[in-house]
């Protein structure tokens, strides 16, 4: 996959799957806009890894579990990078627990984080 000159927005990019996707996109030639939740301890170091590969990289902290947060992220990303060619929507929220005792509010938050954010970002980008 050749992505030279393309700009990719990757959410949940501080660690795990999001970080892996961001690094693969950078290796394929893309410049990156990385997002993770406010206070993410890993977002800046992921950005540094990508810059060390010779790619442009912007890091933006934003809570994308709401439409307003998604809008703020896209506005900031476009202000920094000028355009977006690729979206990797990888938000996640989860807490483990016994099924019968699992808090319904936590279940709703899990759905909000993983499904709704992806919908909003796909529309906005």
Angle at 51 between CA 81 and CA 48, to 5 degrees: 105
The arithmetic mean of pLDDT across residues 91-115, rounded, is 85
Contact predicate 5/26, CB 8 Å: no
The arithmetic mean of pLDDT across residues 56-84, rounded, is 97
What's the pLDDT tens digit per position in 1-56?
Answer: 789 999 999 999 999 999 999 999 999 999 999 999 999 999 999 999 999 999 99
Say yes or no: domain 7-124 is CATH 3.40.50.720.
yes
Would you list the domain boundaries of the chain?
Answer: 7-124
Contact predicate 74/50, CB 8 Å: no
pTM equals: 0.91
């Amino acid at each position: 996959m050749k992505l030279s000159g393309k700009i990719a927005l990757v959410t949940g990019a501080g660690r795990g799957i999001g970080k892996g996707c961001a690094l693969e996109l950078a290796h394929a030639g893309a410049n990156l806009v990385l997002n993770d939740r406010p206070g993410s301890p890993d977002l800046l170091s992921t950005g540094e890894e990508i810059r060390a590969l010779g790619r442009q990289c912007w890091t933006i902290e934003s809570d994308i579990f709401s439409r307003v947060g998604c809008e703020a992220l896209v506005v900031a990303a476009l202000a920094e990078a000028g355009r977006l060619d690729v979206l990797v929507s990888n938000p996640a929220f989860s807490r483990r627990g016994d099924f019968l005792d699992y808090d319904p509010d936590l279940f709703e938050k899990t759905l909000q984080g993983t499904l709704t954010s992806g919908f909003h970002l796909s529309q906005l980008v």
